[in-house]
A and B are shown apart, each in its own frame.
Chain A
Amino acid sequence: MQSEDEGSEGDESDNGEVDEFPEIDPRSDSEADEEYPGDSAEDEEEDEDKDDEEDEEEESEDQSEDDDISDDDLHIFPKAKTVTSDITGQLKRVFPPIEPDYDSDSSTEEAPNRVGNIPMHWYDELPHVGYDINGRKVLRPARGDELDKFLETIEDPNSWTSAFDKKAQADKPLTAEELDLIRRLQENEIPDAQYDPYEPTIEWFTGKGKEEIMPLSGAPEPKRRWVPSIWEKQKVMKIVRAIRQGRILPNKPKTASDKAQFYAIWNEEPSAHPAPLPAPKPRLPTHAASYNPPEEYLPTEEERKRWEETEKEDREQNFLPQKYSALRLVPAYNQFIQERFSRQLDLYLAPRIQRTKLQIDPNSLIPKLPSPNSLRPFPVYKSLSVLHAKTRVRSVSVSPDGAWVVSGDESGNVSLWEVIVGKEVKRWKFDGKVGALEWCPRTDVVFFVVATEERLHFVIPPNLPAPVLFATQAVLSPANLPPAPATPSPVKWTSVSAASSSSEKPILTIDLPPSSGLPKQIAWHRKGDYLSTISSGEGQGGVWIHQISRRHSQAPFKKVKGAVQLVLFHPTKPHFFVATQRYVRIYNLAEQKLLKTLQAGIRWISSMDVHPLGDHLIVGGYDRKLCWFDLELSDKPYKILRYHSRAVRSVHFHPTYPLFASSSDDGSIQIFHARVYNDLMTDPLIVPLKILRGHQVNEGLGVLQIKWVPRQPWLVSAGADGNVAVWCS
């Protein structure tokens, strides 16, 4: 209450209290009490009320004085005069009397717009501005047009300080207060003229005469305010004691702990842990690092250039050798710190690898084999060669007695010659290429088979002794032919009668099915009754087995997976080897089933031969490999040899000697010693013996076929250069 009253001097003017003040002012305190109807509750508490009243009294007096001053500014009511009352002797205000003329009487005034306090914009669109008390429309008073308005503004000097009053529907001049308010708003001043933002502070409790004297509470002063703390004392004493005993050093001498004290750290026993591996030491400097190196260490111009061009990390040496004539001329090494730093980076950032260095002589890796000299005999030199004119000699065959050789070339010539002298005895001419030719392995009869296009010719060489000739003729064209097979065969056997036969013409011809192409290979069974041929062209794989005694041919396989490359009869068992492009399959002919599939690991098999004992097989491939199979051991090669620089063309085991040979398109023939042991525990011994060179490579083809001479360590080789050579030991 108090603060409100005293808050500002000009408040009263707004809240209308001013009206009451003239009446309150002269009254006594008790009167005031009686006047307020709600004060009955306050009466019960006499003490407080008294205080309040006293305060109020004082304040009201103050206010009355204040009002006197403030009244000067107010112009709403006529000015009051303060006079001393005659009756009470007190000061009182006296207002001028109201004159009862027309101006003062409201009834005489022109009726103002009495539509009530309603928002006038409701009638903006309407011709009237409301309703009077009788419910009639109050029409909007007529207003002049724009010209009138303009003229009014010209005529009336106060028109710019007047505003349109909607209630009155007329222009009303603004009062001085309103104008002042507008001005203050325009100038961003506080709109209320009476408000003082800088009024002095009022010290409510410490101001003059307002000091608080009485205590707020009656509690006595606590002891802790004036007795020293026992706990603090204990804490301090603890530190004091520690300092006295020397446990805490207030100012530790710094140098003593700073200096590293060294002692005999290695005097006690080392721990059981092994020491970590020491870091590798850097390389020791070579002659090149000398300040005065020998001349040969100094880099040439191009070496220097290359050194400068290479990246720092890639350089073999991290410096360029330089020569100084005297030690005093040697400058500081500008990479010294960098090198130290890189060494340290190596020490803590580089992973270390422990490498075991092989301290072996590389030559000890080469297998120790018996010397070839101890494994004689084997062919070492070319003893003679027979020339076929300008064509490749595809096939060659040596007679079972080892005396005669037939060789056939691509132009259809077959020549018969002696191994020892190389003299050609006879020459036959066939139509088309000679794909293969082979002597019959029988010793009681003598003939050989020549394969040309879709045809097999059985030829008896000339100059045979009479009994042998008769026996041969009897085999090839017997007097009474065996009965023809029940089913008609596509293979036709035609023979010339024994009487009319000669060595000029083949005594027996087998016509293979048409479009079967050139037979690539002829393989004899060791007894000489069966022979197998492979033709290149036909769909069925072109494998035919011909039986001479029955004059019958049959195709053993209805369907073969892959193109058949080679076939072979097992030397002792009724087994049949069939080499397709990648695999070698072994069939049992008696039981008619597949025994084994050998995986050579060769892309394309070119040649194959079986050991005379029948337990080992060698396979050559166009991808330069030669595989040795131990048939008892595994279907994987026991050994893979790769020594030819071109495709292997032909491989052959010697029938009696422990030798085998391989020929290749690089024009060389490799002779091996191949000893096979009967007991299963010992591995076969393979020793390379000799490389025979002498054939020319012609259009990428070298030595096309090789054959051993039975009973002699000799070799016959047919080359693409048209030569057939005999190699002797």
Chain B
Amino acid sequence: MGRLRQKGKAGAAKAYVTRSAAVKRLQCSLADFRRLCILKGIFPREPRNRKRANKGSSAPTNFYYAKDIAYLAHEPVLKKLREHKAFAKKLARALGRGEWSSAKSLEDNKPVYRLDHIIKERYPTFIDAVRDIDDALCMIFLFASLPSDSKVSPSLIENCARLAAEWQLYIMHTHALRKVFLSIKGVYYQAEVFDQTVTWLVPYQFTQNIPSDVDVRVMLTFLELYQTLLGFVFFKLYTDAGLVYPPPLDTKKDESAAGVGAFSLQEVQHTAGPEPASKAKTLDADGKRVSSKDVRQTIKSISATVVDDVDVDMPNVDSTSEEADEDFVAQPSRSNPQETAALPTLQALNSIPQSTSTKLFSPYTFWLSRETSRPIFEFLVRSYGGRIGWPATSGSGSPFEEDDESITHVIIDRPLVVKDNETEEERERRQRRKYVQPQWVVDCINAGKVLLEEPYAQGKTLPPHLSPFEDRAGAYDPTLGLGAQDVSMEDEEESEVEDVSEPEEDAEEEAARPEKAALKAAAAAEDAAALRAAELEAEAAGVDFGTFEKTAQKARKKAKSSETPAVDESEQDMNKMLMSNKQRKLFERMKHGEKKRAAEVSSSGKCDCASLIIFRSDKTSKKRNEL
């Protein structure tokens, strides 16, 4: 006979502790415990059986791993917090007695904790840290735009603004920006740093005030951690890029609202330093020069050879490449004849695809109208290699003036007004430049190529701005339903081309479209993958009648084959009889989920992506445990 097992000596009862027990064990206040949890990244756990973990009580509590708490007990920060408590007492006593000098010396020797070891612990490798800086960046950008008050000190705001500028400088320097989305909440940016996608949200430039239902202390604790984390991450990023960290700040420029321009990136001077970065830069430039030649050659070769194979894997290129070529060359060549490099003829540039897509705006020079947000568009244009200038009302530091000859695009966000008293020179200049609305810049970046300016011209009703993050398979695509008046650029170009060249074919194509739609509808019964394939094919074959017919045939074949599955289905229905109860329930759940998702997609495309780890959505318990 084994030993008698006592209750509460093993298992869940030992592995979990309640929050109050943890606080008692650490002998600190609840506020200190919260601070420790935030800094160390310790969060409550959900035991399998709450009753067993709480020694038979079913009272609502939060549980932590006992090991986590034991680990906290040895934390140097906890020791510092205790020292700080003693310090606060001493200081209060000194102030109460009016011993100013001793109070001052106490204040000077105030215990301060460092978070370096916590950063190293939580992020053992640099990649771990980069993966987790999303929230940190959001907070930094938020606090950089907040007004300072009694709780939020000006130095904190200043530090946040500095970190935000450093991050933007790095992204601009490395051309790491990938996607941008103008949402109603703010601007979402997505960059690729060390092969990790980093997404952050920047609020629009308005003064925000911290609402009363938000606990600032919690936010400040997070901010404390995030500042340290970002400091170390930026140090590593800058030094790896061969830059000096922190970048020196020109106070005079900063005071005249130069924004990111107030910082100057300096390369590390000494020879032992990381040279490859600068090398890479020149190589980059080299690559660009080479690529432009390459582009021309490949374009020529493409125009000579058959195009059929191209249109399959490169849907963004016109199948009638000769015209497309002319069209593309004609567009930018008005401003600059040597701009072929910037053409979105990506298929030719497989060897160095990044240098072109990340230097999307390099041939262009932009002028920001004063009603557009300078921090946003300066960051966007510069991280895609463009030059940008702005009026003095938007801050100092503009590299050129408004009457500069090199300006190709004006980003303007106001309705069209006819000016009567326009000088000849002004009119001439206005005709030479392109006036686009800000959305054009963002849509170009998301499309990975320079779009036609026409639909985005000043005063025009803009096409819808779509999220670049919804590229999940099977997601609802709003551009599909728009049919002939599709906004998507390739279709636009297509129709334009056809308008110019052969109106008969256009008519034919128009006639074919409904058929295509019908084809789509027929294919819609199939599973998502087949649907997608069919769509792709139909889209690619939009012009070419032969391929279109081929797909139509295919679709017909598919329609035929879809007859037999109907029989299969009833058979499968019968086979369901032999599923075990467990299997049947799982099957029904999965089917239910599928149906729900399909309904969502068909209604408005509002979908949710599932993450592997989720927060337990126990809102009430969260409310209750707000410290």
Contact = CB atoms under 8 A, between A and B. Distances in A.
Partners in one complex: yes
Interface of A: 251-252, 254, 257-258, 260, 262-266, 270-271, 273-297, 313, 316-317, 319, 321-322, 324-328, 330-333, 335-341, 343-358, 362-363, 365-369, 371-372, 639, 641-643, 686, 688-689, 691
A352 B467 contact: no
Contacts of B139: 340
A347 B43 contact: yes
A348 B34 contact: yes
Given A264-B236, A293-B465, A313-B619, A352 B613 contact: yes
A297 B604 contact: yes
B184 A291 contact: yes
Given A289-B185, A296-B478, A328-B371, A276 B469 contact: no
Contacts of B414: 326, 328
Contact of A337 (B132, B142, B183, B245): B142
Contact of B606 (A288, A290, A355): A288
A337 B208 contact: yes
A369 B134 contact: no
Given A319-B184, A336-B203, A349 B626 contact: yes
B552 interface: no
Given A290-B465, A321-B184, A328-B413, 12 more contacts: A252-B109, A262-B234, A273-B121, A287-B470, A330-B184, A336-B203, A341-B215, A343-B138, A344-B135, A347-B43, A366-B579, A368-B575
Contacts of B611: 280-281
Nearest to B464: A294
B255 interface: no
6 contacts: A275-B123, A275-B128, A330-B204, A344-B222, A639-B578, A642-B577
B574 interface: yes
Contacts of B120: 265-266
A691 B570 CA distance: 10
Contacts of B608: 283
B572 to A, nearest CB: 6
B605 A257 contact: no
A372 B604 contact: no
Contacts of A347: 38, 43, 135, 222
A209 B597 CA distance: 113
Q: Give the dominant DSSP class at A's interface.
A: loop
B619 A290 contact: no
Given A326-B437, A351-B43, A285 B181 contact: yes
Contacts of A292: 182, 439, 462, 464-465
B466 A285 contact: no
Contacts of A686: 578
A420 to B, nearest CB: 29
Contacts of A283: 608-609
A365 B622 contact: no
Contact of A332 (B43, B208, B413): B208
A294 B183 contact: no
Contacts of A275: 122-125, 128
B219 A291 contact: no
Q: Which residue among A274, A338, A366 has the maximum number of chain B CB atoms within 10 Å of its CB? A: A366
Given A328-B414, A337-B210, A365-B586, A353 B613 contact: yes
Contacts, number: 297
B131 interface: yes
Interface residues of B, number: 115
Nearest to A254: B108
Given A262-B245, A294-B478, A330-B184, A271 B239 contact: no
A350 B622 contact: yes
Contacts of A260: 114, 227-228, 231
A345 B622 contact: yes
A264 B414 CA distance: 48
Given A264-B236, A294-B464, A349 B204 contact: no
Nearest to A346: B615
Contacts of B578: 367, 369, 639, 641, 686, 688
Interface stretch (B259-267, B282-290, B390-398, B587-595): B587-595
B142 to A, nearest CB: 6
B622 A327 contact: no
B571 interface: yes
Contacts of B269: none
A286 B125 contact: no
B78 interface: no
A406 to B, nearest CB: 32
B4 interface: no
Interface string B93-110: 000000000000000110
A265 B115 CA distance: 12
Contact of B185 (A333, A353, A357, A367): A333
Nearest to A311: B619
Contact of B577 (A289, A324, A643): A643
A340 B210 CA distance: 11
Nearest to A691: B574
B304 interface: no
B218 interface: yes
Contact of A285 (B109, B188, B576): B188
Contacts of B605: 286-287, 296-297
Given A254-B108, A278-B132, A266 B125 contact: yes
Contacts of A296: 478, 481, 604-605
Nearest to A340: B142
B183 A291 contact: yes
Nearest to A268: B120
Instruction: Report the 4 A-B pairs with minimum CB-CB distance, sorted nearest first.
Output: A332-B206, A270-B124, A284-B469, A350-B615
B607 interface: yes
A686 B578 CA distance: 8
Interface in B343-380: 371-373
A610 B591 CA distance: 37
Contacts of B116: 265
